[in-house]
C-alpha cells in the first residue's frame, strides 16, 4: 500500500495515499481497533456532518466573508455535497468506540472535506481546522449531527414506514367489516368482536405512535451549533448559531432552529432520550401486533387458525411442508433490540459531566439503529405479511359459536351466577350453551333463541 505523510499538532502520520482523511483520522483509526468494519460511525451521522459543515461554511461566508471567501465556500460546498450524497463514504472509517465527544469523527469530516475541496480547487486552499471547522468545536458539531440525523431518520423513514402499515390496516378493516369472531383476553375466550375492530386497534396504536414521534421531533429541531467548546460561543460570531441553523433548515427542508441554551445543548441528551422513548413505544406496539398476527395464524390445524398469512419460505429443515410466521418473528426480534437500545441511550444520556456529555457516539449509534431497524422491519412486515392477511371465515365462525363466553349475553335474563353455572355445565358435559341453559331450567328453548345472538354482541 502506498502512503503519504500528513501532520497534526502531534507530528507526522502515514496515511493511505488513496484516502482523503488526514492525520487525526488516521490516529483514531489506529488507536481504536474496536468493532472495525462492523460498528463504524453510522452513515446518517456522516451525512449530517456534510450538511452541517456546508451550512457552517454558508453562515461563515455571510458573517466572516474575509475568512470564508467565495472561492473557499465553493470548494467546501462541493465537497460537502459529495459527503451528503454518500460518494465519499469509504473515507469515513472510524468506529463508534472512540472519544465520547466524537472529536475524531468531526476531524474526519474536516479532513475529508478539506482534502477533497483542495482537489476541487486544484491547490492547497482549505485547512481542516481553520476553514472547514471555522466557528465550530467537536463539542457542538457532534450533538448537532446527532439531532440532524435523528430528525431525518424519524421524519423521512420511520414515520412514512408507519403510515404505510397504517394504510394497509385501513384497507383490511374495510375488507373485513362484516366478520364477527371470538374476542380473547388473558389468552382465554372472551366476548365477540368484529375482526375489523381488532384490526382497528392495531391501526390506532400505530397512529398514536406517529403522534408521539411528532411530539418528540420538536425539541430535536434545536441545534447546538454556536456553542463551540463549552457553550459560550468562543471564536464564533454572536449570530453564528442563528444563521447556521437557518442554513441547515434550508438545506434539509426541516424546521431546525438554534438551541436557546447552548450549555444545555452540549451536555444534555434529554431530547434523544424522549424521542427514543417514542421509538420504544412503537416497538412495543409492533411486538404486540406481530404476536397477535402469529397467534391468529397459528396452525395450520392445531392452532387458532383464524387468519391466513403469506407463505414466504420453507419453515423447517426436517419437517416437510412446514411454514412459519417469519416476518412476525423478525419484527419481534427488532422490538427486543430497540428495548435493549433504550437502556443504552438512557445510560449514555446520564453521563453529562459538567459542560459536555462524553457518551455521544454510543448514544446516537443505538438511537439510529433502533429507528433504522424498526423502519425496515415495519416495511418488510407490511410487504411480506400484512398486505396478504386473509380471514379464515369458517374457523372464525366455528370458534365464535363454540365460545363459552357467549353466555355473557344471558346475564340480563338469568343473572351472572346462573350464567356462570350454564357455562361450567356446558364445558363439563361438552354440550352447547343452549343445551346447558335449558337443562338447568334457566330459559326455554324459544326464549333462548330469542335473546341469544352472538353477531349482535359487538
Q: What is the CA radius of gyration of the chain?
A: 30
The C-alpha atoms of residue 269 and residue 291 are separated, in whole angstroms, by 33
Judge contact between 175 and 250, C-beta under 8 A: no
Catalytic residue flag (residue 186): yes
Q: How many residues does the chain have?
A: 458
Q: How far is CA 204 from the centre of its chain?
A: 18
Judge contact between 351 and 359, C-beta under 8 A: yes
The C-alpha atoms of residue 183 and residue 396 are separated, in whole angstroms, by 10
Nearest alpha carbon to residue 389 among 241, 63, 171: 171
Catalytic residue among 7, 85, 204, 316: 316
- Residue 243's DSSP bridge partners are none
DSSP character at residue 94: -
**Which helix (H) or strand (E) is 248 found in, with range?**
helix 240-252
Judge contact between 341 and 367, C-beta under 8 A: yes
Judge contact between 266 and 140, C-beta under 8 A: yes
Catalytic residue among 186, 196, 204, 403: 186
Nearest alpha carbon to residue 202 among 336, 370, 456, 385: 385
> How far is the CA of 134 from the CAs of 80, 322, 413, in angstroms?
15, 62, 81
Tell me whether strands 390-391 and 307-308 are parallel, antiparallel or unpaired.
Answer: antiparallel
For Cα atoms 211, 284, 153, give the angle at the middle one, nearest 5 degrees: 55
Tell me whether strands 11-16 and 3-8 are parallel, antiparallel or unpaired.
Answer: antiparallel
Catalytic residue flag (residue 9): no
Quick one: cell of 224? 447546538
The C-alpha atoms of residue 131 and residue 253 are separated, in whole angstroms, by 25
Quick one: cell of 186? 388473558
Quick one: cell of 210? 406517529
Nearest alpha carbon to residue 143 among 347, 349, 341: 349
- Look at residue 48 and give its three-state secondary structure: helix
Active-site residues: which are they? 186, 316
Amino acid at each position: 500500500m502506498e502512503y503519504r505523510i500528513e501532520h497534526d499538532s502531534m507530528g507526522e502520520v502515514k496515511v493511505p495515499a488513496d484516502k482523503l482523511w488526514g492525520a487525526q483520522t488516521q490516529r483514531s483509526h489506529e488507536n481504536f481497533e474496536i468493532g472495525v468494519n462492523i460498528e463504524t460511525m453510522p452513515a446518517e451521522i456522516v451525512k449530517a456532518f456534510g450538511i452541517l459543515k456546508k451550512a457552517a461554511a454558508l453562515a461563515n461566508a455571510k458573517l466572516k466573508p474575509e475568512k470564508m471567501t467565495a472561492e473557499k465556500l465553493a470548494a467546501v460546498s462541493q465537497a460537502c455535497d459529495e459527503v451528503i450524497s454518500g460518494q465519499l463514504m469509504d473515507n469515513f472509517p472510524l468506529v463508534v468506540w472512540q472519544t465520547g465527544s466524537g472529536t475524531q469523527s468531526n476531524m474526519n469530516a474536516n479532513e475529508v472535506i478539506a482534502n477533497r475541496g483542495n482537489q476541487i480547487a486544484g491547490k492547497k486552499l482549505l485547512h481542516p481546522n481553520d476553514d472547514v471547522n471555522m466557528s465550530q468545536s467537536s463539542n457542538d458539531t457532534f450533538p448537532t449531527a446527532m439531532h440532524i440525523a435523528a430528525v431525518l431518520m424519524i421524519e423521512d423513514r420511520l414515520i412514512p414506514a408507519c403510515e404505510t402499515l397504517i394504510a394497509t390496516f385501513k384497507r383490511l378493516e374495510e375488507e373485513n367489516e362484516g366478520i364477527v369472531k371470538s374476542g380473547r383476553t388473558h389468552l382465554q375466550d372472551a366476548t365477540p368482536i368484529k375482526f375489523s375492530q381488532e384490526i382497528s386497534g392495531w391501526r390506532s396504536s400505530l397512529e398514536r405512535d406517529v403522534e408521539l414521534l411528532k411530539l418528540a421531533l420538536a425539541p430535536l429541531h434545536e441545534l447546538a451549533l454556536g456553542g463551540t467548546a463549552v457553550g459560550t460561543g468562543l471564536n464564533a460570531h454572536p449570530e453564528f448559531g442563528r444563521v447556521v441553523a437557518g442554513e441547515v433548515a434550508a438545506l434539509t427542508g426541516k424546521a431546525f432552529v438554534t438551541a436557546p441554551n447552548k450549555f444545555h445543548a452540549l451536555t444534555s441528551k434529554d431530547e434523544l432520550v424522549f424521542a427514543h422513548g417514542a421509538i420504544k413505544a412503537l416497538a412495543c406496539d409492533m411486538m404486540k401486533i406481530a404476536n397477535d398476527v402469529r397467534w391468529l395464524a397459528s396452525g395450520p390445524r392445531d392452532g387458532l387458525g383464524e387468519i391466513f398469512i403469506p407463505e414466504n419460505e420453507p419453515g423447517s429443515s426436517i419437517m416437510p411442508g412446514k411454514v412459519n410466521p417469519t416476518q412476525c418473528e423478525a419484527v419481534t426480534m427488532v422490538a427486543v433490540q430497540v428495548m435493549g437500545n433504550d437502556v443504552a441511550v438512557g445510560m449514555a444520556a446520564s453521563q453529562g459531566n459538567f459542560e459536555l456529555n462524553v457518551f455521544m457516539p454510543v448514544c446516537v449509534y443505538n438511537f439510529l439503529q433502533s429507528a433504522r431497524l424498526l423502519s425496515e422491519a415495519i416495511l418488510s412486515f407490511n410487504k411480506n405479511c400484512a398486505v396478504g392477511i386473509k380471514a379464515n371465515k369458517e374457523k372464525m365462525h366455528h370458534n365464535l359459536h363454540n365460545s363459552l363466553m357467549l353466555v355473557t349475553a344471558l346475564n340480563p335474563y338469568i343473572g351472572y351466577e346462573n350464567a356462570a353455572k350454564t357455562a361450567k355445565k356446558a364445558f363439563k358435559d361438552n354440550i352447547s350453551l343452549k343445551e346447558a341453559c335449558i337443562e338447568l331450567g334457566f330459559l326455554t328453548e324459544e326464549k333462548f333463541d330469542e335473546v341469544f345472538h352472538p353477531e349482535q354482541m359487538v
